[in-house]
Structure formats: structure tokens, C-alpha cells
Amino acid sequence: MSHTPASDPMFSPLQVGELSLPNRIVLAPLTRSRAAQPGDVPTPMMAEYYAQRASAGLIISEATNISPIAKGYALTPGIFTDAQIAGWRLVTDAVHAAGGRILLQLWHCGRMSHESLHPGQPPAAPSAVECDDCAVFLVDAEGRGDKAPVSPPRAMTLDEIRATVADYATAARNAMAAGFDGVEVHGANGYLLHQFLASNTNCRDDAYGGDLAGRCRLLFEVMDAVLGEVPAGRVGVRLSPLFSLNGMADADPAETHGHVAAHLNSLGIAYLHVADTDVMAGAAPQMDRMLPFIRPNFTGVRMLNGAYDPERARAAIAAGDADLIAFGRLYLANPDLPERIAAGGPYNTPDPATFYGGGAEGYTNYPTLAEA
């Protein structure tokens, strides 16, 4: 079924902080592991990939390492060297030339990492809590990629925590120097900031652990640091309150994330990105369990993410549950997704074999509707 943009809530313009978006369709942050080596530098092919998807209301970049120790997966880009900044400038210039808007997602993997990615430094985490069934993507000497168990983490010192806050500030500043329209702080999916929030991965007894205030302290300090570099109207935050993969099991996710949402609301950020990421592993959708403790605490723009198809996305926007919908795998395979949604499809099928690593196949060669 096709919809005319004039009557379709997916295509109504929206002011998101300082950003004027022409539609409600967002390219979700998608790790694709195609950064150039050595140096984890964005490439011209990455610029082509993002520019192909510039008809989105907003693009959120793949998760991007804020420092060497932040890295948890092979071939993922960084934002802490001059070469990386220059590589990202190719991307932002290409997206802007195509009429798009793009934010950089700031990432620290914490315990979701392997020591081979930063030799001599085990993964840094709030506490030395191992994840027995956690795995990350690595590449061997012959260039073959595969999943590997994470390395045992070590608890961060107070000095390392302070240095990490400074790394977020530097990364945010570098993102703006690279031409991004803003940044998204990745506080979800079992990575470092989420590890500090969750009671099962944060066993500290200092100011950064223990009670709810202590567990939220790092995220709130990171937000202050990022907002010192980027206007609040150009900053978003991603949370995944009920995420149960990567060994995450907070005792009271509603209390934790309701408190976080209220604090983020007080900061006046551009949007809150709420992810129902377990659905990608086959779980039933849980957004209806999250919205009751998110909506009362965050009154700004809400972006929802969780294997939405166009009809479910349209219904969420029409009902007022969402202002924006972030599409992942569907957008990965359909570079002209807004045009296809307006036409009622058809849609290319994503190829999981080409999600991580490799070249143009399964990356920049998905046909548009006109080409198909």
C-alpha cells in the first residue's frame, strides 16, 4: 500500500533540537566493520554508503570508538586521530552534498572487547565481572573475520574514569571538526556506559557504583563533558533499558532508566533514542514495557528502534509513542528506504553474510527502486 507524503505521518517534517528534519525516518547506527587498516580510518566507500542513504530524515553513524581502549570489534572506525577526522570529513561532505544530516555515535565498548585489539591492555570495565557467553568480531592474520570470546576485563581506576570522560569530550569536539551535525552518546547494548548503569556489571563501592546515583554518575559526567563541546540541541542519547544480551541483567531497569530519562530531559537534549535490541535475536517486542517509564520522564523527541516495519512505524508515530523511527537492517538493504516506504515497497532482502567486513558487496551495491 502506498501513501502520499502529505497524509503520511512518516513524512511530516520535524524540528529536533537545532536540526530540521524533512521526515521521521532515521538510519539506525549499524556496525559494518569496513574501516581502513591500519588506523581504523573511514574510507571513500563509507562516504558512498552514507550518501546513498541521505534521503533519511537523519543518519546516525555506526558506533565509533572514542579512544584506542574503547575499541571492542575489528575494523570499526575511530574519532581520536587526525586521519580518522579527515576520513569522516569525506563522509559528512558526501552526506551534506546529497542533502542529508548525520550525527556521529560515540562508543566505548568496555568489557565487550578483546585484548588483541589494544595489545597489553585488557578490556576496561566498571568491575572485573566476566561475561561467559559474550563474543566480539575479530579478524585473523589472513583477513578472515569471525566471532571470538571476550577477554576478562579489569576494573577501571578513578584516574581512568576521569580520562574516559575527557575522551568523550575530545571525541565530541573531533566529531564537530569532522563536519557532523551533532553526536549521539551510546549508553545502550551492554557497552561501557550501560555497564556502569546496570547493577549486575557495576559492583563498585566508590562514587561510581553502589546506589542508583553512583551507577548513573559516569553517564551524567559524560553528558556534561559532551555538552561542553556540542550544543544540547545537537546531542542525542541511546538507551536499551530491557537489553538482556551481552550478559546484562539490571535488577530494576525501570527505576534505572526512568531516572536516567528524567536527567536527560532536564539537560534539554535533542532526542532520546530507545532501543528494543533483543528483537534482533528473535525476542518478542518489548517497547510497550519500556514506554511507561520513559514517556513520563522524557518529554522531548523520542526515537524508537526495534525491528520496525513501515506499518508498525507509522502506527507508533500516529499514536504519539514515537516522533522518529530508526530502521536498521531494512535501511541497510534499501538505500532509498524513504522512497520505498512512500511507494509501499517492494524491499530488498538484507544479506547477513555481508553485514561485517568485506567490500562493496552487501554494502554499497543494493539497488534502488529505480535501478531494480
**Does the pLDDT of residue 4 top 60, yes or no?**
no
Mean pLDDT, range 268-294, rounded to an integer: 94
Buried b (16+ CB within 10 A) or exposed e, 136-167: bbbbeeeeebeeeebbebebbeeeebeebbeb
Which cell numbers hold the place of 195?
A: 555497564
- Nearest residue to 27 via CA among 55, 66, 64: 55
Question: Quick one: pLDDT at residue 281?
Answer: 85
The distance in angstroms from the start CA to the end CA of the chain is: 18
User: pLDDT tens, 296-321?
Assistant: 999 999 999 999 999 999 999 999 99
pLDDT band at residue 365, thresholds of 50, 70 and 90?
A: very high
Mean pLDDT, range 238-244, rounded to an integer: 97
| CA distance readout (Å), 106 to 71, 169, 212, 328, 334 | 11, 10, 23, 18, 25
Question: Quick one: pLDDT at residue 3?
Answer: 55
- Nearest residue to 236 via CA among 26, 32, 56, 4: 26
**Does the pLDDT of residue 144 top 90, yes or no?**
no
Mean pLDDT, range 260-267, rounded to an integer: 98
Question: Quick one: pLDDT at residue 141?
Answer: 82
Instruction: Let me know if 308 is a catalytic residue.
Output: no
pLDDT band at residue 278, thresholds of 50, 70 and 90?
A: confident
d(CA 207, CA 194): 16
**Does the pLDDT of residue 20 top 70, yes or no?**
yes
d(CA 55, CA 10): 13
Residues whose CB falls within 8 Å of the CB of residue 73, separated by 6 or more in sequence, listed in order: 31, 33, 109, 113, 117, 136, 137, 138
3-state secondary structure of 97: helix
User: Catalytic one among 50, 73, 168, 191?
Assistant: 191
Side-chain half-sphere of 291: how many Cα atoms within 13 Å?
Answer: 16
**H/E element, 93:** helix 82-97
Residues 28, 325: contact at Cβ < 8 Å? Answer: no
Q: What is the fold, at CATH topology level, of the domain defined by 9-354? A: TIM Barrel (3.20.20)
Mean pLDDT, range 69-93, rounded to an integer: 98
pTM exceeds 0.95? yes
Q: What percent of the chain has pLDDT over 90?
A: 94
Mean pLDDT, range 256-281, rounded to an integer: 96
- Nearest residue to 181 via CA among 102, 255, 117: 102
Mean pLDDT, range 130-140, rounded to an integer: 94
**Does the pLDDT of residue 2 top 60, yes or no?**
no
**H/E element, 291:** helix 287-294
Nearest 5°: the CA angle 241, 333, 372 is 155
pLDDT band at residue 77, thresholds of 50, 70 and 90?
A: very high
**Does the pLDDT of residue 364 top 60, yes or no?**
yes
Cis, peptide link before residue 13, omega less than 30° from 0: no
User: pLDDT tens, 206-232?
Assistant: 999 999 999 999 999 999 999 999 999
**Does the pLDDT of residue 150 top 60, yes or no?**
yes
Residues whose CB falls within 8 Å of the CB of residue 38, separated by 6 or more in sequence, listed in order: none
d(CA 344, CA 216): 43
Which cell numbers hold the place of 85?
A: 577526522
User: pLDDT tens, 174-191?
Assistant: 999 999 999 999 999 999
Burial label for 12, CB within 10 Å (0-12, 13-18, 19+), is middle
Question: Quick one: pLDDT at residue 5?
Answer: 64
d(CA 296, CA 181): 28
Mean pLDDT, range 187-207, rounded to an integer: 98
Which cell numbers hold the place of 108?
A: 566505548
**H/E element, 173:** helix 158-177
pLDDT band at residue 6, thresholds of 50, 70 and 90?
A: low
Place of cell 539537560: 267
Mean pLDDT, range 280-302, rounded to an integer: 95
